[in-house]
Amino acid sequence: MFPSSLQDFQENRNSSPYAAKLGHYTGLAMEVVNLAKECRLPMLLPISMYYCAVMRLEHILDGVVVAHDDGTSRKVDLDWPEKRAIILGKRALNYRARTNLFGFLLTSAPPAPTLPNNPSSSGCAIPQRCETGKLKWLRQMEPLLSGDKCGPLHMQFEWTRYSADVCTYCVMDGKNKYREGLKKSWEELPSVFELEPWDILKTESLDQ
């Protein structure tokens, strides 16, 4: 549920128990952060802190009150070092979503060669139209990319609609850059929260 690999994250993020628990229990990610510290399992920290970072800012600052079936309640909160890292990480996540995942909207694809018998798949077939299309989608994405709950690991893109505004080459080029950007965002996730790289976190967890 709080994986340490991108493949596991992608396989589990849409499963119904996973989505239900995160959706109905706001404090779950905070609980995992605290548990990871207490049990010295640092490989759980990047993804649990990521889920905290896409929470509302007031929940990060003030904690979350959890109600139980017996009518009692308790507060789930984080220590200040984790709060600081998560709040600062929000801006870093926004930046990575904009540059790693959707950087293809900010760049121009190489134009297709105009040589005879050269397939258009070797470059952008209609540069002016594609530039206009990318700008249109960048404007549409802007509120999400600058929002309080921007998280590059679970952001989706409407490729079918996008394909109506750009050429086939630019769609494929965008998908390739999006996939590479997702991998890069995962690799950089620990550094977003001032943690050691994944391999060190995993080694430290296995040594416990």
Q: Looking at the predicted structure, is the pLDDT value of residue 155 above 60?
A: yes
pLDDT at 165: 96
Considering only residues 159 and 5, tell me which one the structure prediction assigns the higher pLDDT.
Answer: 159
Considering only residues 123 and 43, tell me which one the structure prediction assigns the higher pLDDT.
Answer: 43
> What is the model's pTM?
0.85
> Angle at which helices 198-206 and 168-192 pack, to 10 degrees?
50
Task: Provide mean pLDDT across the span 132-157.
Answer: 88
| pLDDT tens string 67-114 | 777 888 889 999 999 999 999 999 999 999 999 999 999 988 777 765
What percent of the chain shows pLDDT beyond 90?
Answer: 60
Tally Cβ neighbours within 10 Å of residue 42. Answer: 20
Separation of alpha carbons 199 and 208, rounded Å:
15
Q: Which of 39, 18, 14 is nearest to 29 (CA)?
A: 18
Q: Which of 121, 124, 120 is nearest to 110 (CA)?
A: 124
Task: Provide mean pLDDT across the span 140-165.
Answer: 88
Check if the beta carbon of residue 204 is closer than 8 Å to that of residue 40: yes
Q: Looking at the predicted structure, is the pLDDT value of residue 171 above 90?
A: yes
Separation of alpha carbons 195 and 201, rounded Å:
8
| Residues 173-188: b if buried by 16+ CB within 10 A, e if exposed | bbeebbeebbeebbeb
DSSP for residue 64:
E
pLDDT at 20: 47
Tokens of 100: 């790693």
Residue 14: pLDDT band with limits 50, 70, 90: low
Q: Looking at the predicted structure, is the pLDDT value of residue 43 above 70?
A: yes
Of 8-12, 20-24, 85-89, 174-178, least confident by mean pLDDT is 20-24
Task: Provide mean pLDDT across the span 38-62.
Answer: 93
Tokens of 184: 């890069």
Task: Provide mean pLDDT across the span 152-169.
Answer: 92
What percent of the chain shows pLDDT beyond 70?
Answer: 88
